Amino acid sequence: MSLKVNGERREVNIRTSETLLNVLRNQLGLTGAKPGCLNGDCGACTVHVDGWPMKSCLMLGVEGVDKEITTIEGLENTPIQQAFIEQFAFQCGYCTPGFIMNCQSLIEQHPDASDEMIQEWLESNICRCTGYQEIEQAIKSVLVRKQNSE
Ligand code: FES
Ligand code: FES
Question: How sure is the predictor about 83, in pLDDT bands with cuts at 50, 70 and 90?
Answer: very high
Average pLDDT over every residue of 35-40: 98
Lowest mean pLDDT among 30-39, 93-102, 125-134: 125-134
pLDDT at 71 over 90: yes
pLDDT of residue 149: 86
Mutate to test the pocket of ligand 2, among 46, 122, 129 (most ligand atoms within 8 A of CB): 129
CB 45 within 8 A of CB 34: yes
The band of 130, judged by pLDDT with boundaries at 50, 70 and 90, is confident
**Ligand 1 atom at minimum distance from 58 CA:** 2
Q: What does the pLDDT average to over 83-98?
A: 96
pLDDT of 150 over the 80 cut: no
Give the pLDDT confidence score for residue 123 in this predicted structure.
95
Q: Ligand 1 centre from 148 Cα, in Å?
A: 35
Residue 88 CB neighbour total at 10 angstroms: 13
**pLDDT at 108 > cutoff 90:** yes
Instruction: Say what the pLDDT of residue 13 is.
Output: 94
Q: Which of 20, 31, 37 to mutate to test the pocket of ligand 1 (most atoms within 8 A of CB)?
A: 37
Residue length of the chain? 150
Residue 61 has pLDDT above 80, yes or no: yes
State the average pLDDT over residues 63-75: 97
How many angstroms does the Cα of residue 99 sit away from the middle of ligand 2?
10
Q: Characterize 111-127 residue by residue with b for buried, 16 or more Cβ atoms within 10 angstroms of its Cβ, and e for exposed.
A: eebeeeebeebbebbbb
